[in-house]
A = this chain, B = another copy of it.
């Protein structure tokens, strides 16, 4: 029996990161999942992440506290209202107020630290440049620059024992394609949550960008969102 290489998987409890976890497993990695309590308005996604990690049988799941709330500047970590629309066509084309300053850089930096201590060189993140083209830190050129920096940052990379690869298999997929991929791998999307502004009982709002894009993704597959 050969030992599987380890990979760090950023797991938010949402649709994209849950698909990424399934893809990492399919690719032959032993997954180590990391979730962040960064000051988001609700912790429903963290509960979902823990459930998903357990169901997927990850080697380890850690929850990391990184307080980004004291920085402000985003609807996801402060009292700025989450924008709501009727359909995906109403979603603006500018960078939305749900953008959290440098969030993926902070998350990837921490994941890089964990990867090095695990002896892992592979990091999976569910960024997507199609539906969320408004977020600068979801674009291929950003990911490439992060990877390049990472390979100059760690002892393991610099000594040549463990080069760093940032895996973004969803980056060029539509939400419908992501869902199709996940379903083919047996992902149970009823366990995931994507809403930016859920009710206290976890019910999705149905009208934030994340809810609308997700619903359309299932509709395009002839399905109803099982978590809606």
Chain B CB within 10 A, most for which of A102, A137, A152, A159: A102
Contacts of A67 in B (CB 8 A): 64-65
Known A-B contacts A149-B142, A149-B146; the reply to A136 vs B155 at CB < 8 A is yes
Which residue of chain B is the closest to A78 with respect to CB atoms?
A: B117
Contacts of A103 in B (CB 8 A): 113
| Cα distance A139–B152 in the bound complex, in angstroms | 9
19 A-B residue pairings within 8 Å (CB atoms)? A64-B66, A65-B65, A68-B110, A71-B114, A73-B116, A100-B113, A101-B112, A101-B113, A101-B117, A101-B154, A102-B150, A105-B112, A105-B149, A105-B150, A106-B109, A106-B110, A109-B110, A136-B155, A136-B158
Does A104 count as interface, using CB distance less than 8 angstroms? yes
Distance to closest chain B CB from A10 (angstroms): 14
Q: A-side binding surface: helix, strand, loop or mixed?
A: helix
Does A224 count as interface, using CB distance less than 8 angstroms? no
Contacts of A153 in B (CB 8 A): 102, 104-105, 136-137, 142, 145-146
| Cα distance A145–B95 in the bound complex, in angstroms | 24
Distance to closest chain B CB from A95 (angstroms): 5
In A45-102, which residues have CB < 8 Å from any B CB?
A: 62, 64-68, 70-73, 95, 99-102
